[in-house]
Amino acid sequence: MRKFEEVTTETREIFKGKIIHLNVDTVTLPDGNTSKREIIKHPGAVAVIAQKEDGKIIFVEQYRKALEKSLVEIPAGKLEAGEDPIVTAKRELEEETGYTTNQLELINSFYTSPGFADELVNVYFTSQLIPLEEKVAGDDDEFVELLELTLGEAEKLEKEQRIHDAKTSYALLYLKLRGLK
Amino acid sequence: MRKFEEVTTETREIFKGKIIHLNVDTVTLPDGNTSKREIIKHPGAVAVIAQKEDGKIIFVEQYRKALEKSLVEIPAGKLEAGEDPIVTAKRELEEETGYTTNQLELINSFYTSPGFADELVNVYFTSQLIPLEEKVAGDDDEFVELLELTLGEAEKLEKEQRIHDAKTSYALLYLKLRGLK
């Protein structure tokens, strides 16, 4: 038995959506008592730290309905079923930014909200960007605007909370540690 | 109207749980088409980067049912309704680690999963830790184990994916940028 393992005695399926599923599990705790766990199942995601030759970083601004505001984020997207994350990363980069690449380095991966969701984000880095000659169509319901910013400009947006999500804040620290200005 | 705003025409309440609520919103997109948005409402959370006098950082290991494994994370917890995040931060530090503090610096905040959830994490830093004389009881259904690690030891756990969540990976970069070893 794994440390502090919680053994599921019942799973109640509440919702199966386009993107997320919600289950409520009844669990037996390490002390023998029972509790409920509300769990979101998510297909997983990728994010790409894309650095141009001139040192500028590529961001996209989009409306986030859950927050009722727009955020400036590094390019990112959800995995299709069974998709290799590196394939998703290249696709999302092409759809959202108009660049492609043949070189994506996986720099880290992390669960975004381990308390209630299994969403895992794979974070890639590339400094080998190739402009696409023709735009690649993205999802019908996604409207994004491209921004190319120095790290200093991005840090200013973070102070203004126009950059305000975990993967993008992580990316800014990562780039600062690499010595970017 | 805000950039790319999506106007809600209908909200369907799917689930109201102990921790999360799930709504499905029907929205009108900027191009006039309609789409659905699956949205998790979360009370928000705090996380604390707690550095001891000897430079070691405090972590807690706990079972994460959504992942069916234990993770080593910085101390964290959910806000109670209407609670000031700094009060939550002090409480969670006391309950999970056996230390308290009178000095918590808010270093950043970020949404963990802006694509589907409104969970906002406030991240605090303290290097002014005071051992509690008596243990403070935490939630009945939480079982955590304390770890005190150098940054190098924590980075090793991250490579092994025992540290594997966004706020903790963010914390490790933050500490590295402060010059910790």
Q: In this complex, do B3 and A36 lie within 8 Å of one another by their Cβ atoms?
A: no
Q: In this complex, do B141 and A30 lie within 8 Å of one another by their Cβ atoms?
A: no
A66 with B40: CB under 8 angstroms?
Answer: yes
Q: Band of the pLDDT at B137, cuts 50, 70, 90?
A: confident
Query: What mean pLDDT value characterizes chain B?
Result: 96
A45-110+120-177 is a CATH 3.90.79.10 domain = yes
Name the residue type at position B173. L
Q: Which residue has the higher pLDDT, A137 or A116?
A: A116
- Kindly report the three-state secondary structure assignment for every residue of chain A: CCCCCCEEEEEEEEEECCCCEEEEEEEECCCCCEEEEEEEECCCEEEEEEECCCCCEEEEEEEECCCCEEEEECCEEECCCCCCHHHHHHHHHHHHHCEECCCCEEEEEEECCCCCECCEEEEEEECCCEECCCCCCCCCCCCEEEEEECHHHHHHHHHCCCCCEHHHHHHHHHHHHCCCC
**How many whole angstroms separate alpha carbon A124 and alpha carbon A167?**
11
Residue B125: predicted pLDDT: 98
Average the pLDDT over A3-14 and give the result. 94
pTM assigned to the model: 0.97
Buried b (16+ CB within 10 A) or exposed e, B43-70: bbbbbbbbbeeeebbbbbbbbbbbbebb
**How many whole angstroms separate alpha carbon B46 and alpha carbon B86?**
8
CATH number of B45-177: 3.90.79.10
Average the pLDDT over A69-84 and give the result. 96
Residue B139: predicted pLDDT: 82
What pLDDT, in 10s, does the model give residues B54-77? 999 999 999 999 999 999 999 999
Q: Which H or E run includes B108?
A: strand B105-111
Residues in chain B: 181
B94 with B126: CB under 8 angstroms?
Answer: no
Task: Suggest the residue from B113, B121, B174, B180 to mutate for an interface test with chain A (most A CBs closer than 10 A).
Answer: B113
Q: Band of the pLDDT at B3, cuts 50, 70, 90?
A: confident
Q: In this complex, do B165 and A110 lie within 8 Å of one another by their Cβ atoms?
A: yes
| C-alpha distances out from residue B115 to A1, A65, A168, Å | 34, 8, 13
Residue B129: predicted pLDDT: 98
Task: Suggest the residue from B5, B23, B88, B112 to mutate for an interface test with chain A (most A CBs closer than 10 A).
Answer: B112
Query: What mean pLDDT value characterizes chain A?
Result: 96
Q: Band of the pLDDT at B1, cuts 50, 70, 90?
A: low
- DSSP SS3 for B6: coil
In the predicted model, is pLDDT for residue A3 greater than 80? no
Residue A175: predicted pLDDT: 98
What residues in A contact B6, CB-CB < 8 Å? 63, 65
Return the ∠ at Cα B23 (arms to B17 and B24), rounded to 5°: 150
- Look up tokens 């309440």; give the residue: B13
Name the residue type at position B82. G
**How many whole angstroms separate alpha carbon A43 and alpha carbon B159?**
23
Q: Band of the pLDDT at A137, cuts 50, 70, 90?
A: confident
Residue B65: predicted pLDDT: 97
Across the interface, which of A2, A65, A170 has its CB nearest the CB of B170? A170
Task: Suggest the residue from B64, B146, B160 to mutate for an interface test with chain A (most A CBs closer than 10 A).
Answer: B64
Q: Band of the pLDDT at B15, cuts 50, 70, 90?
A: very high
In the predicted model, is pLDDT for residue A1 greater than 70? no
Average the pLDDT over B116-129 and give the result. 98
CB-CB neighbours of A163 under 10 Å: 23
Q: Among residues of chain A, what percentage have pLDDT more than 90?
A: 91
B144 with B96: CB under 8 angstroms?
Answer: yes
Average the pLDDT over B109-129 and give the result. 98
Diameter of chain B measured on Cα atoms: 61
Q: Band of the pLDDT at A142, cuts 50, 70, 90?
A: confident
In the predicted model, is pLDDT for residue B142 greater than 90? no
Average the pLDDT over A138-146 and give the result. 87
Q: Which two tokens stand for residue A29?
A: 């705790």
In the predicted model, is pLDDT for residue A2 greater than 80? no
**How many whole angstroms separate alpha carbon A63 and alpha carbon B28?**
12
Residue pairs spanning A and B at CB distance below 8 A:
208
Please give the residue of chain A at the shortest CA–CA distance from B174: A173
Residue B136: predicted pLDDT: 83
Residue B90's Cα: distance from chain center in Å? 14
What residues in A contact B115, CB-CB < 8 Å? 19, 45, 64, 66, 76, 78
Query: Nearest CA of chain A to the CA of B158: how many Å?
Result: 9
What residue spans define the domains of chain A? 7-41, 45-110+120-177
What residues in B contact A14, CB-CB < 8 Å? 14-15, 22
Alpha-helical regions (H) of B36-127: 85-97
Q: In this complex, do B166 and A70 lie within 8 Å of one another by their Cβ atoms?
A: no
In the predicted model, is pLDDT for residue B2 greater than 80? no
Residue A94: predicted pLDDT: 97
**How many whole angstroms separate alpha carbon B51 and alpha carbon B128?**
8
**How many whole angstroms separate alpha carbon A41 and alpha carbon A21?**
5
In the predicted model, is pLDDT for residue A165 greater than 70? yes
In the predicted model, is pLDDT for residue A33 greater than 80? yes
Please give the residue of chain B at the shortest CA–CA distance from A168: B110
